[in-house]
């Protein structure tokens, strides 16, 4: 998979969705900002939690967005690997497959 292109296409799709259901998407955006700005955990830690959940529920677009957000938040590939290990431990075989996708996404975005 070409993750930079996948992310761009998914962003285009969510823009169309936002035009179709603007109030819902505005509310979701407000919620997203509120959870990232408040609380005792930093954005990076919260994005690691989100990535673990994304792997657990097998949401490939979510994986791509949270990997991208982690890179912007200053995460390292080694930190990512630790979180992927926990996701595998919690999710078993299916998590192995989606953890591999998250690592591939990281490597593609890092090379872009």
pLDDT tens digits, the chain, 112 residues: what are they?
Answer: 999 999 999 999 999 999 999 999 999 999 999 999 989 999 999 999 999 999 999 999 999 999 999 999 999 999 999 999 999 999 999 999 999 999 999 999 999 8
State pTM to two decimals: 0.90
- What six digits make up the tokens of 49? 């939690």
* Amino acid 38: pLDDT: 85
**Domains assigned to the chain:** 3-111 (1.20.1290.10)
Q: How many CB atoms lie within 10 A of CB 62?
A: 18
DSSP-H helix ranges across 21-59: 22-37, 43-57
C-alpha to C-alpha distances, 94 to 5, 11, 18, 38, 41, nearest whole angstrom:
24, 26, 31, 32, 28
Query: Which residues, other chains included, contact 33 with Cβ-Cβ below 8 Å and sequence gap of 6+?
Result: none
* pLDDT tens digit sequence for 37-54: 989 999 999 999 999 999
* Amino acid 39: pLDDT: 92
């Amino acid at each position: 998979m070409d993750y930079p292109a996948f992310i761009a296409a998914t962003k285009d799709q969510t823009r169309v969705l936002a035009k179709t259901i603007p109030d819902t998407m505005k509310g979701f955006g407000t919620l997203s900002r509120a959870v990232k700005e408040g609380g005792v955990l930093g954005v990076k830690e919260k994005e690691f939690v989100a990535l673990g959940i994304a792997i657990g529920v097998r949401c490939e677009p979510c994986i791509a967005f949270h990997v991208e957000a982690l890179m912007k938040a200053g995460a390292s590939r080694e930190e990512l690997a630790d979180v992927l290990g926990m996701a595998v431990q919690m999710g078993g075989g299916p998590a192995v497959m989606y953890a591999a996708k998250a690592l591939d996404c990281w490597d593609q975005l890092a090379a872009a």
